Chains A and B, each alone.
Chain A
Amino acid sequence: MQATQTKLGPGSWHAVRGVQTLALRRTLWLGWVMAAAMLPVALTSAQQDSPQSSPPDPLDGAFAALATHDWGPSLDALAPIDVAIAMSHGNVDARRYLEDRLLGVLQSDAPRAAKDFVCRKLSVIGTDRSVDALGTLLDDPDLGQIVRGALETIPGERATQVLGAALPRLKGPARIGAIHSLGRRADPLAAPILVSQLQSGAPEVDEQVQSAILSALSHLDAPAATSAVLAFDPSGSAVLRQGLIEASLRIAHRSLDQGDLAGAADVFHRWEGEASEPVQCAVLVGLIEAEPATAAPRLLQALAADNERLRRFAAQYVREHAVVGLMQQLVADLPQLPLSGQIGLLEALSDQNLPEVRGAALAGLQAADPRMRATGARALAVSGQADDVPQLVQHVVEDEPEVRGAACEALEKLPGADIDAAIVKCVEDGTPQQQIALVPIVAARQIRDADPMLFQLVGAADESVRLAAYSALETMADARFATGLAEKLAATSPGSEREAAQRALWRSCLQIEDSEERGAPILGKLQGATTQEQAALLPALGLLGGTAARKVVDAALVSDHELVRDAAVRALSNWPDASVADELMEIARTAEQPSHRIWALRGFARVVGREAKEKPQETFLGLRDALALATRLEDKQLILSRLTAVRTPDALALALSLREDESVQREAIEAVASLAEGMKDSYPKESRAALEQIVKLTPDPELQLYITKLLWNMQLKGN
């Protein structure tokens, strides 16, 4: 018989790349070449049985090395055997040749490591030819386990027979191992020997052995095995009881797989009263599958259980598996459940848009228990309708924070224009407390038609309502409201309401398409404005910037009125671009009033930071000067945070220089980490050096972890 030569190529090389040493690769490569060239010849000569005339076997060297192989030396010398095994796939003769040579080593006085190597190979290529030789070594104290491993994987009846026949003579763990192997082989032929062992009553068949036999039998699809397991009496032994449960559940699942629902149900019923919660879970699901008609009562029973985990398991089962009919049955019986079960079930159904769920949710909303009310509100977020909005609104002002949150969330999430309209009506008709809660929901839903109503609310008597309305208008007001908001702002007193009105007006003006015209509503109102009105309007004007605004602000900077000058410095500090940087720095250096210096310094840091990308060196120098001027901690922190946008070695060095300054250490370390991350590709060496200097400095474990990850990422990427 001519041996087929397996394909050979550099691809074989790739199979081991990345994991072998260079020497091993070289040896493997050599092995490939030799084996490919010589194996067929060797096989032929082996068949001709004329060793004296045959050329040298290319594997002789490897097998000679194997004969004395031990743990420690390199495996390189054995590599040709691996190569030959890989190449000979599908070649019966070549495999027989290799198997015989391996068996020769197994039956020799080679060291344990050599025979270990042989058994591993036989576990992959072994056939009936190897079984008897392996079987004789099953009770070898050193080799028994690795021999059994080979027998476990070799296909065919012979290996089952040898393992089974060895059972009586094997002791302790070796016997248990052989039993497990018979189970893992799942060969029904093993059933008689295992059953006879289980029923023998012999003293050596102790609890551990019996438990192993139960497990093994449960893997055999044989009536005798199944009967023996199901008839077994654990006689009060906890170990055996657990083993029996495990084995019988496996049998029950196999019955389900084979369509024997009644047989499966019988087994599951046996363990129905088991106290163990995980077994209860297994039995619950098993019985639902075996007896689908009983799903609803079983789930309801589990949902009413004292054990919280079982209740939650049942709820999760409903969430993942329930179909509409089953859900309807469960909801119908929901009132019969104890409160915890009701909550669990309603939670499980809360993402179902079903009329039954809506009904249960509305009922839940009326419950005395706040957890139930919150659950009801959450369920309405999916199944609710416009008619339900007033009921939810009742709960956005209740005392229980969980219910309030759930009601608000439901009102935010419920989709539809009819829901929008219902919410707006509730705002219009609601109490101030309801308005305060609902206005942010209007903003979150971005109900476009609601802005006139919001504009009306900025004139409400209740200050909190006005603040909520301004806050909503920040995200909703369009340009139409700019002039009106300027009027409102001019009339405010200093404080949070004025600041909210400034933000709303600014955002409204930003909606004006022509950027040059964005300041017009404020500039118009400033004409003839009183000192108080100017003080209110100028900071908002500063937020918008622009040439016309700059002239007005510059004039205000030299006003006779201190209030106006204050407002002008604020306006300049609010400027949206760096065109005012020099003026701000000048004020920061020279202003008489400390507040002006502080506002200007902070404004300067903010505006120059915006040009960090385009003008990194100028920005760095400006921030360095600002840092020198800063006296307050919060100002230094702000400047450091702005410095993180300047990705230059100078900025990194400046931040690094502050790492030992206790007052700003954390900010300095964060700045270094942020800069190093941003610069890791452009300045890898500097970034890495900086990170290495700060990694041990911070006491904050989260920050330390972050820095460690940065370093590690850089290492991975070769930086």
Chain B
Amino acid sequence: MIAQRTIRRREFLGAGAATVAACCVPTIVPATALGFGRPAPSERITVGFIGVGWKGLQGCFGSLVHSFLANAGCQAIAVCDVNSKFRDDARQTIDAANKNQDCRAYGDYRELLACDDIDAVAIATPDHWHARITIDACRQGKDVYCEKPLSLTIREARAMVDAGRQYGRVVQTGSQSRSYDNIRHACEALRAGAIGEIREIHVSCGGPSVPCNLPGEPVPDHIDWEMWLGPAPWRPFHPVLADKGFRAYRDYSGGGMTDWGCHHFDLAQWALGTDHTGPIEIAPPDGKDVKYLTYRYANGTVMTHESPQAQQGVAFVGSESDAWGHGMSARWRKGGDTAWRLPPGPADPIQGAKAHSDNFLACVRSRQKPHADVEIGCRTVTVCHLGNIAYWLNRPIKWDPQREEIIGDEEASRWLDRPKREPWNIV
């Protein structure tokens, strides 16, 4: 039995035009917000990094550590990872950039969060840790940049929003597309009717995560496996999990649906103007009438999830034209055209992760909402999770996006969250 979520009064208050606008229209913070030249050390935002493996340091199209280091207004001062090799690499990288030996290294994120001299944290752990660390960081007064997908479950994502709001923190979801000028331009144009009325959306990305049955192996000395598992159910160590391979497995991630899905469904949500809500029905393929997993929005827009064929991305079918988007690119195809073209506006970005971390750091100073505010990340990852639930149960589900509840299916509602391994808890 999972506690039912009641609609809170402040959500009604927040549903006014101003808040909706704040959610939907990214705040453009001038570059001057961080001042000219490098601020004095006392003026810089101090950042700690939690999870410095694949995405955190090695960099998947933009290392998180490097993107922060490239901002003159930021001072990286601490790292944390359960893998001591990753941890040492990150510490050395930061020390080299800072030209000192001062970067502190921790194996337990709670020790890092206890540091009073850290203003903000950047989280790039496996997904099953995102919620707990984000919520703890908010309680400790840290602003948070949390990699996408925002959470492992729908309830976790909402708890992250609540923590950020309650404690007045800036919480940025690591959906970098939100800070790319070309993608913003394209999504705003779509919302303004650039291809006419959006009638269909076809999202192409990987499928849901699966149960893990990798064999057990001895735990290497450099990995704290108990801490890696954290709130996830216990299972024996396997090296694939401790690297980026965890994403395929249900205890730690939502699979392709939440990996690239978090980019492509996010573009759909953005273009539809549904950053504050979501679909109302999700139906898995039935081999007859429903060919693909199909979402239906209240306004009648239909969105399907299709396995990647030639290319991943999200295609919009409008009443007048088509559009196609990817995490970094947008293309237009006017009625009758066969070739995709660059839409008017900014070209494809080359900013990498930096534009997004820059936006986060600017908001840490201004306290304004970042481009991918946690509410946006919550709504997007909810779309992904709902798709997974429908796939896993192999039956249609109805969703109340206002109350954030599955309607009339107690069993499906059990998937809104997962039990946490002791002593961890989320809410």
Contact = CB atoms under 8 A, between A and B. Distances in A.
Contacts of B140: 278
B414 A123 contact: yes
Contact of B292 (A14, A123, A150, A156): A14
A10 to B, nearest CB: 3
A321 B13 contact: yes
B287 A11 contact: yes
Interface string B74-111: 00000000000000000000000000000000000000
A686 B287 CA distance: 42
Contacts of B285: 11, 14-15
A155 B394 contact: no
Interface in A292-314: 309-310, 312-313
Given A9-B287, A20-B210, A73-B213, A187 B1 contact: yes
B350 interface: yes
Interface string B1-19: 1111011111001000011
A699 to B, nearest CB: 14
Contacts of A270: none
Contacts of B391: 15-16
B311 interface: yes
B416 to A, nearest CB: 10
Nearest to B236: A71
A215 B19 CA distance: 30
Given A145-B233, A312-B366, A321-B18, A173 B414 contact: no
Contacts of A259: 9
A356 interface: no
Contact of A708 (B61, B326, B366, B418): B61
A285 interface: yes
Interface in B207-233: 207-211, 213-216, 233
A208 interface: yes
A91 interface: no
Nearest to B166: A282
B368 interface: yes
A89 interface: yes
A500 B234 CA distance: 73
B9 A19 contact: no
B191 to A, nearest CB: 20
Task: Give the interface SS of chain B, mostly helix, strand, loop or mixed.
Answer: loop
B58 interface: no
Contacts of B3: 184-186, 219
A184 B427 contact: yes
Contact of B256 (A19, A149, A321): A19
Contacts of B10: 256, 285, 289
A116 B211 CA distance: 11
Interface stretch (A580-588, A604-612, A641-649, A711-719): A711-719
Contact of A716 (B7, B311, B367, B420): B311
Interface stretch (A174-182, A227-235, A476-484, A593-601): A174-182
Given A86-B394, A184-B3, A185-B1, A9 B286 contact: yes
Interface in A548-607: none
B141 interface: yes
A705 B9 contact: no
Contact of B425 (A123, A145, A215, A276): A215
B39 to A, nearest CB: 14
B422 A89 contact: no
A159 to B, nearest CB: 7
A504 to B, nearest CB: 28
B284 A11 contact: yes
A109 interface: no
B31 interface: no
Contact of B62 (A125, A174, A705): A705
Given A13-B287, A184-B427, 18 more contacts: A11-B285, A11-B394, A14-B291, A72-B214, A72-B215, A74-B213, A116-B233, A153-B414, A155-B410, A173-B422, A212-B425, A219-B3, A246-B139, A249-B166, A277-B141, A281-B167, A284-B168, A316-B369
18 contacts: A10-B287, A11-B290, A14-B291, A15-B391, A72-B214, A86-B394, A89-B393, A113-B213, A152-B1, A153-B414, A186-B4, A187-B1, A278-B139, A281-B166, A285-B166, A312-B365, A712-B61, A713-B328
5 shortest interchain CB distances as A-B pairs: A177-B422, A281-B168, A149-B419, A72-B215, A11-B287
